[in-house]
Amino acid sequence: MTNVEIAASHERRFGGDFGSRKARDPAGGGRFERAFHRAMYLGIQRLRGRPVGRWMQHLVSWDALDEARYAALARQRLETVLELASAGVPLYRSCAWRKHIASDPRDIARWPLLDRADLIERKNELLAYGAVPALLLARRSSASTGRPVEVLWDRHAVAWSWAAEYHPMLWHGLEIGTRTLRLWGSASLIENFVLNRHFVPADALTPARLEAAVRYLDAFRPQLVWGTPSAVHELARYIGRTGRAEDAFRVPYVKVGGEQLYRFQRDEIVRHLGERLIESYGCTEMGPIAAECPAGSLHVLATNVHVEIFRDGAPARPGEFGEIVATNLVNRAMPLVRYRIGDLGALSPSPCRCGRPQPVLAALRGRAADLVTKTDGTRIHGSILGDALQRCPSDSPLGSAQKVLFEQLDRQRWKVRLEFHRRPDSAALERQVGDLLRDVLGPGCQTEIEIVARIAREPSGKFRYYKVRGGPSRPPESADRPTLH
């Protein structure tokens, strides 16, 4: 079955009841163009020993399983990797692990949690016996949120991770080779050509780059814009602010990932840029973890990654919010078992109404360590500041900023950096920023405003709306759980 047929069969099976629609052919290139790029991409991957196409076909066929069968398959894949990891990875053969898992390594509940520090300091012990680093793909996370991590992936695992990236896009009728404006990732000309992508670097979205992106949308009518929420939001806000006939630049789909997605971003992206926004969730260490279906749920890609939720050091109750702990089921070169990703979320106790068998991840929040302090000493998750931006209409002084960064200087004082393309009235801006921060952080909060030409993104192109002077706050302890709304 070709991917076109697969997409069509998805359309038939899961239907258009939940907002799914057929890919718009006139925009984004025709069927031949997509088939050409897809064949080139899958062919090159096959030559490199990465059977992305074959793995995608498995993933597609597993969509047709019912919930119980899918769960059994995911469990079987989990037990296989646990057995291999316990026998073939030096760290898991050490006393610290053996004393927990020796009696039954296939029981995940016995396994200790693995920290980011373990991955950094004991990386070599996590490499399976017989794995040759020179033959493995090193994936590194950016250093901006702490010390960088590096995970080595074997070829089949790389193929599984790409298959898990592209398979859920078929749920929306988006095939590999779909004409795409990409605001994230690699600048490799060859890679972008093969994947039919136009790449705009998101590390610094200057007006010139945003204008170039708009010109591309206008001239080439891509079917998809794909980037981090903050980068795609900047483009949407730019289109909105420059007062164009917005329909001329609308794309059928926008896919975002790599950062927390805020409601205000979603609203503006849908208003100015894309008809349908698709959220995805993953990380360097695990690859893709969850993807949004046409019904709007984030489905855990549970045949690739096993997800658990922990609260106060123990497994959370069904539906309870807590720390995400993940086990990679595909990377046998460096199997990460019960790895504390550092993000927060909940596993929904109910399946999705779309009928897909994968479990549903709910209430996803960015890094657990991203805590800021209110004036009364309470610690809350910094993303609550991003949520608060929802209250600022785009024609208000703060809402018209191209970017905003809240930086905590001490318990009472905050510096707010703002980037504007058109500067608003200073007094009104100060009043709005002060009111917002006092409302979120307490009445004694003092704010200092600085209007700058550019607020830098992280080298990876990512952006967060808040930071604490001196870098990320310390890792979460049970006493430091953020207050959740």
Tell me which residues touch Zn ion (CB under 5 A). Answer: 293, 295, 297, 352, 354, 356
Nearer to Zn ion (CB atom), residue 295 or residue 368: 295
Q: How far is the CB of 359 from Zn ion (least distance, A)?
A: 10
Q: Is 177 left (phi over 0), alpha (psi -120 to 50) or beta?
A: left
Nearer to Zn ion (CB atom), residue 250 or residue 356: 356
Look up residue 225 and give its DSSP letter.
E
Q: How far is the CB of 297 from Zn ion (least distance, A)?
A: 4
Whose tokens are 């945003």? That residue is 210
Q: How far is the CB of 250 from Zn ion (least distance, A)?
A: 24
Q: Identify the CA nearest to 161 among candidates 12, 325, 333.
A: 333
Tell me if 276 sits within 8 A of 153, measured CB to CB.
no
Nearer to Zn ion (CB atom), residue 293 or residue 385: 293
Q: How far is the CB of 172 from Zn ion (least distance, A)?
A: 11
Nearer to Zn ion (CB atom), residue 101 or residue 261: 261
Q: How far is the CB of 371 from Zn ion (least distance, A)?
A: 32
Nearer to Zn ion (CB atom), residue 277 or residue 293: 293
Dihedrals φ, ψ of 400, to 5°? -90, 0
CB-based contacts of 263, cutoff 8 Å, min separation 6: 387, 390
Question: What is the number of other CB atoms lying within 10 angstroms of the CB of residue 376?
Answer: 10
Nearer to Zn ion (CB atom), residue 297 or residue 373: 297
Question: Euclidean distance between the first and final Cα of the chain, in Å?
Answer: 46
Q: What's the rounded Cα separation, in Å, for the pair 161 and 122? A: 24
Nearer to Zn ion (CB atom), residue 330 or residue 352: 352
Q: Give the 3-state secondary structure of residue 364.
A: strand
| Total residue length of the chain | 485
Whose tokens are 């404006």? That residue is 181
The H or E element containing residue 247 is none
Whose tokens are 């814009």? That residue is 225
Q: How far is the CB of 70 from Zn ion (least distance, A)?
A: 13
Q: How far is the CB of 474 from Zn ion (least distance, A)?
A: 37
